Structure 1
């Protein structure tokens, strides 16, 4: 880790865009130890087997048809940063053109580059796995979705939580594969999320807030996270009460500084989405079954509204 190099990369941000993405990558990686990918063949096969088992089990329990990526990526923290620099660049570039140049473009570029570098460095040290539907990706014949596991973080977190590594690895695989199930069941979901993200970020960049777009985005992401929580809890093929308890505690942060950073990055909102969404879908499934809960992915109109998330009976009355 080289903090001096990280600061230098941010300070030297250049170019014509609102963010210097090359500097973001250099600064974030300079501030983050990559971690080891020294895995045995058995460990590598363990990841692949967990994904296959999760796919088959979730198909059976959830009654949803979907595919997982043909290959999975075992990443260190630098690999994850590179993948997500590409994602954020695809997301932000079109919006920057709509907003236009700020009053002080050089200073603004340095601030934006520093903020993005800090965010990606923090996340790279904490993200365990990621299902990426490749929002905004160009149709160039490449994959349309990818599945990442950040092995150094999974290994470290298993030790911190005092959980056997193979069991914890399997838990993470089930969680990420549930997201593949959601996007596989709802081919309209990537475009729906993309449009709301564009509207929300464009308005924020211009100093405003499209409340309708933000509310729809928040409700959709709450459904995505909540349904994943429901499905993995019901599909996971081992005892998991201790894992659930420890993971929920980890989402709250490990100390005052960690909790502050999570709050600044909006991770408190994400935790609320997990909890609120899980409560909604557990109530739906307990009342009407998993098959009814899966109707949320039939069409965009089946997504719960903000009010329905707090009153699942209203959603059930509308859908059934």
Structure 2
């Protein structure tokens, strides 16, 4: 169930619209679907030991569950997640100082429709994710129809591809379950953004900037870059550093473990990297405006950072990054691994 406190967003409408826009995905029989679900669960469980052996990270067993979902299930899960993440910001905007002005100006149904459109677009793209904010210890989501769609589109070995996806996503589960403070740290950063918000100026300036950004194609960044204040940009830079670390680390694990257990990993990596660039003008535009281009940069830059540190200091020394929040790399250090090594190691 979505967060009922978020009066600015009609979450039920967002889920309804997002699920409808996402569609069902590729056509499969019930037998095929059941086999895919079982294989993904087995692949995720198998990946736990592979990730531990490669990284040295010890994640507690039987904590974050593995959930294989369809596109509608992913939309519902992410609406719940958004409601949790955005709760401190919504509370700030709908506090005693501006209770009705914001709600009436934005309109919960309008906002719900906009969020639903975003979720509907992303629901057809995401192969899997770790949801760190699902109580009590997070959960791993694997989007079965999207995995089947991509393996068919790329014409790769389906069994190899499914395990390859599981390796990446299971790495995220290990990152958070082996580092229990990490989810609270990220949620604390969202509270920091909320504390910096000035409700009185958000509508007059923020929405105007968003409209101008959409009209101009959001040149130079995503919508978040357009509306952020300097104080918020500092927080966003810190979060960018963390997300680059997480995504790059997962890519390094995939490529490090893959050759020993996935015979066609080279073919998969080559085709998938090409696909990440987006297909079609509309797709590329939406990726840029929504900040997904920045997401792709996180994979690339984060992987370069992780490889540089591991090559220089070894995996055991690199794992100092998971010991405390102060050891996390900044956005600048992601681009300068030597600076992180000098500061932390």
| TM, length-normalised to structure 1 | 0.86
Q: CA RMSD in A?
A: 2.3
Q: Which residue of 2 aligns with 1:228?
A: 250
What are the residue-to-residue correspondences of 1:38-57 with 2, within 5 Å? 38-40=30-32, 41-57=34-50
Q: Structure 1 residues 269 and 289 mapped into 2: Cα distance closer, same or farther (>3 Å)?
A: same
Shift of 1:102: 6.6
Farther-moved stretch of structure 1 (119-128 vs 199-208): 199-208
Q: How far apart are the structure 1 equivalents of 2:71 and 2:197?
A: 29
- 1:91 to 2:91 alignment: no
Select the residue among 195, 198, 206 that pairs with 2:188.
195
Q: Structure 1 residues 221 and 102 mapped into 2: Cα distance closer, same or farther (>3 Å)?
A: farther
Q: Which residue of 2 aligns with 1:238?
A: 262
Shift of 1:204: 6.3
Q: Which residue of 1 aligns with 2:16?
A: 26
Q: Which residue of 2 aligns with 1:291?
A: 316
- 1:211 to 2:233 alignment: yes
Between the two proteins, the alignment pairs up a number of residues equal to: 300
Shift of 1:69: 4.9
Conserved? CA contact 1:81–1:121, under 8 Å: yes
Alignment partner of 2:140: what SS?
Answer: strand
Q: How far apart are the structure 1 equivalents of 2:6 and 2:242?
A: 34
Conserved? CA contact 1:133–1:190, under 8 Å: yes
Shift of 1:111: 3.5
Farther-moved stretch of structure 1 (160-169 vs 304-313): 304-313
Report Cα offsets for 1:83-113 as digits up to 9, x if no partner.
1111111222332121234746345124422
Conserved? CA contact 1:68–1:177, under 8 Å: no
Conserved? CA contact 1:55–1:68, under 8 Å: no
Shift of 1:308: 1.7
Conserved? CA contact 1:23–1:113, under 8 Å: yes
Q: Structure 1 residues 297 and 163 mapped into 2: Cα distance closer, same or farther (>3 Å)?
A: same
Q: How far apart are the structure 2 equivalents of 1:190 and 1:277?
A: 19
Q: How far apart are the structure 2 equivalents of 1:55 and 1:319?
A: 28
Select the residue among 177, 180, 184 that pairs with 1:184.
177
Select the residue among 302, 310, 314 that pairs with 1:277.
302
Shift of 1:194: 0.7
Report Cα offsets for 1:44-81 as digits up to 9, x if no partner.
33222211221111111111101465642221111111
- 1:152 to 2:177 alignment: no
Q: Structure 1 residues 205 and 227 mapped into 2: Cα distance closer, same or farther (>3 Å)?
A: farther
Conserved? CA contact 1:200–1:213, under 8 Å: yes
Alignment partner of 1:31: what SS?
Answer: helix
Select the residue among 63, 68, 73 that pairs with 2:67.
73
Shift of 1:166: 1.1
**Structure 1: unaligned runs, 5 residues or longer:** 1-14, 138-142
Shift of 1:304: 1.3
Q: Which residue of 2 aligns with 1:7?
A: none
Q: How far apart are the structure 2 equivalents of 1:262 and 1:205?
A: 28
